[in-house]
Amino acid sequence: MTLTRTTCPYCGVGCGILAGADGTIKGDTEHPANFGRLCSKGTALGETLDLQGRLLAPQVNGCDANWTDALDAVAQAFSTAIRDHGPDSVAFYVSGQLLTEDYYVANKLMKGFIGSANIDTNSRLCMASSVAGHKRAFGTDTVPGTYDDLEHAELIVLVGSNLAWCHPVLHQRIAAAKALRPDMRVINIDPRKTATSALADTHLRIVPDGDIALFNGLLSHLAQNGALNERYLRDHVSGAAPTIAQAQQGNPRDSGLSQAELLEFFNLWSRTEKVVTVYSQGVNQSECGTDKVNAILNCHLATGRIGKPGCGPFSVTGQPNAMGGREVGGMANMLANHLDIENPEHREAVQTFWNSPTIPTHQGLKAVDLFKGCADGKIKALWIMSTNPAVSLPDADGVAKAISNVPFVAVSDIMARTDTGDLADVLLPATGWGEKDGTVTNSERRISRQRAFLPAPGEARPDWQIICEVAARMGWKDAFNFATPADVFAEYIASAAATMTFGRDLDLSIFADADYAKLVPTQWPRNDMRFFADGKFYHPDGKARMLPISAPAPRTKDVFTLNTGRNRDQWHTMTRSGKAPRLGAHLAEPYVEIHPKDAADLSVSPDDLVELLGPNGKSVVRALITERTAKGQLFTPMHWTRQQSSAGWVNALAAPVVDPVSGQPASKTNKVTARKF
Ligand code: SF4
């Protein structure tokens, strides 16, 4: 069996895979992300390749249609809405599952030709707070860390990150490094005890959103104990004095930790030179997610623990191509190539390169606001690609109603029946993993190829091609005249080169002469370059910024705080992972983790059903009584959809509360009441 070298379609670790049309799946020993390792989800990919449930032909108004009619309908609806109501009356909602080539043309069409920034992505739910925090501190959305750093660190601090389930191969790499170097210390900071806590030497059970009090406390401790890097601060950072003064006003006990726990953590951090702080959705998915990111970055900047091997802050992305999407600017607040919509010079550079008729001068609607725009009638035509917002966004019932309110909705998907697809006027069959070619960027800025090893099923087409065909029908054929994904990638690389004059971080010149077919996994800007090693950042004065951050007020305890997250063996709304029987065997139905004392208070016994009531909906799930979840807190997985479990899916419960800077929903701190069902 011929095996094709490709990349896993699930998480942001971006593991290399050797895949065969017969379902053979092997870890790629030559891929620097995983060196042959795979997790349960990656290993089971061969069981997910059947065509059951696939969307194999276009549909218009619920009936099978040909491509010409379907594409004409999309182009006409968008053109009419733009003509009658202006460019901001249309929107794309895209996905971190898309390949970079898909993302690039979608962003180019919306921003450069339609003239709106109303393109946002489910990556808004994933890492938008990290993007905003990086930009505030560094001047650009630069992830300085690499996976190697995890293996060279003396102390790894995992904040709001259940790496063991959500980035399992990174967890395996840390476990292997710790086995080789038992002196390596791992601290897990999380309100919930998880599989990741088992690897850690210490689990610090903070209260939800207690991160800022903790890291402000650390900064204050560093200042009081002469552990700041004064020379680094003088030469490379601004804003240190007010930031430290602000931190000193806080009370680290508001983190929920004891004095002894705080002191042990502070002392270990300040006495260890090589510290990597890994953070993920527990940090990002918060009302104060961006501030949490900056509270962490403040500590690394204050001590110069950045830009060195085994050292630095490290945001790990949830989705396979959240990084690629932000590189090409596929978010409502970004321009292509890490450039800024609000900056006239940046706009001019991108517009000149695209030779486009227009470019938006203001940010578009971020995910939650985009669907509010659908609800209130602002959006007249909506195209959703490769994602299922009618179940995955907070207030999901409200989002479904909002989508129903849009006069024209197109959905591109691989599946015939999804909660979102059922609301579409036009369904466009997309090719999926193993059937399409393109690139993805993983959490350490490594661009890898996804390669097809299966034929396109039925009439399915790759997303980039569908988008280009609609663009051509809207009158922009020449600008979207790409024959292959390699052509799209070449233009993307050229666009980055054309805009590098602004001294940005996104230097992709290493790919300028790359052979797309043979492209090997490569980090930008170069495999051997370390960001910030020279102490230079991307603000105009070359310095990083420390930002004064105040901790949120301690939470009231009158209702439960519901944390939502992933199971080890499932991915998103289980479109693919739900097909593999062995993955379903791990945790087969929706459940809620509840502390024994809370269960007793509610007279709930093991396996009883519990009703969770939120401001926008309710859910009925099985009780899993465990001390993994603290008293007053609940945890439930977010995978089940309305179609899969009409009672047990959870996203209808959540209020659409977002971080005011990043627009990322606060999916970890939903307010609910609970009772025995
Ligand atoms: Fe795929 Fe992530 Fe598992 Fe690697 S760790 S095999 S990328 S799901």
Predicted confidence at residue 652, as pLDDT, reads 87
d(CA 457, CA 185): 49
Predicted confidence at residue 559, as pLDDT, reads 87
For residues 272 and 306, membership in a common domain is answered with yes
Tell whether ligand 1 has an atom less than 6 A from the beta carbon of residue 602: no
User: Residue 15 is part of a domain; what is its CATH number?
Assistant: 2.20.25.90
Tell whether ligand 1 has an atom less than 6 A from the beta carbon of residue 10: yes
More confidently predicted of 558 and 61: 61
Q: How confident is the model at residue 259 (pLDDT cuts 50, 70, 90)?
A: very high
CA of 325 to the centre of ligand 1 (A): 18
The number of distinct structural domains making up the chain is 4
Residue span of the structural domain in which 592 resides: 560-676
| Boundary (domain end) residue, out of 478, 502, 523 | 523
Closest CA to 504 of 537, 541, 544, 547: 537
CA of 28 to the centre of ligand 1 (A): 12
For residues 119 and 252, membership in a common domain is answered with no
Atom of ligand 1 nearest to the CA of 34: 4
- Mutation to probe ligand 1, out of 167, 316, 443, 569 (largest number of atoms < 8 A from CB): 167
Predicted confidence at residue 319, as pLDDT, reads 86
Predicted confidence at residue 646, as pLDDT, reads 81
* pLDDT over 70 percentage in the chain: 100
The residue whose CA is least distant from atom 2 of ligand 1 is 11
In a domain, 535, yes or no: no
587 has a pLDDT exceeding 70: yes
User: Residue 581 is part of a domain; what is its CATH number?
Assistant: 2.40.40.20
In a domain, 70, yes or no: yes
For residues 492 and 587, membership in a common domain is answered with no
For 90, the 3-state DSSP assignment is strand
Tell whether ligand 1 has an atom less than 6 A from the beta carbon of residue 14: yes
* pLDDT over 90 percentage in the chain: 91
Q: How confident is the model at residue 252 (pLDDT cuts 50, 70, 90)?
A: very high
The residue whose CA is least distant from atom 3 of ligand 1 is 39
Q: What is the DSSP letter of 201?
A: S
What does the pLDDT average to over 293-305? 98
CA of 275 to the centre of ligand 1 (A): 25
CA of 41 to the centre of ligand 1 (A): 7
Q: How confident is the model at residue 66 (pLDDT cuts 50, 70, 90)?
A: very high
| Chain segment 335-374, per-residue pLDDT in tens | 988 999 999 999 999 999 999 999 999 999 999 999 999 9
For residues 222 and 119, membership in a common domain is answered with no
For residues 117 and 136, membership in a common domain is answered with no
Q: How confident is the model at residue 257 (pLDDT cuts 50, 70, 90)?
A: very high
| Chain segment 314-338, per-residue pLDDT in tens | 999 888 898 899 999 999 999 988 9
In this structure, are residues 29 and 169 in contact, taking their beta carbons and an 8 Å threshold?
no
For residues 337 and 485, membership in a common domain is answered with yes
Predicted confidence at residue 241, as pLDDT, reads 98
Closest CA to 653 of 593, 611, 607: 611
User: Residue 400 is part of a domain; what is its CATH number?
Assistant: 3.40.50.740
- Mutation to probe ligand 1, out of 6, 7, 8 (largest number of atoms < 8 A from CB): 8
Tell whether ligand 1 has an atom less than 6 A from the beta carbon of residue 169: yes
Count CB atoms within 10 A of the CB of residue 483.
9
In this structure, are residues 642 and 390 in contact, taking their beta carbons and an 8 Å threshold?
yes
Predicted confidence at residue 555, as pLDDT, reads 74
For residues 8 and 79, membership in a common domain is answered with no
What does the pLDDT average to over 187-206? 97
Closest CA to 170 of 145, 189, 190: 145
Q: How confident is the model at residue 501 (pLDDT cuts 50, 70, 90)?
A: low
| Chain segment 369-410, per-residue pLDDT in tens | 999 999 999 999 999 999 999 999 999 999 999 999 999 999
Average pLDDT of the chain is 96
Beta strands 155-159 and 119-121, pairing class: unpaired
| Chain segment 521-575, per-residue pLDDT in tens | 999 998 888 999 999 999 999 999 999 999 998 877 778 999 999 999 999 999 9
Give per-residue burial for 406-444: e unless 16+ CB within 10 Å, then b: bebbbbbbbbbebbbbbbbbbbbbbbbbbbbbbbbbbbb
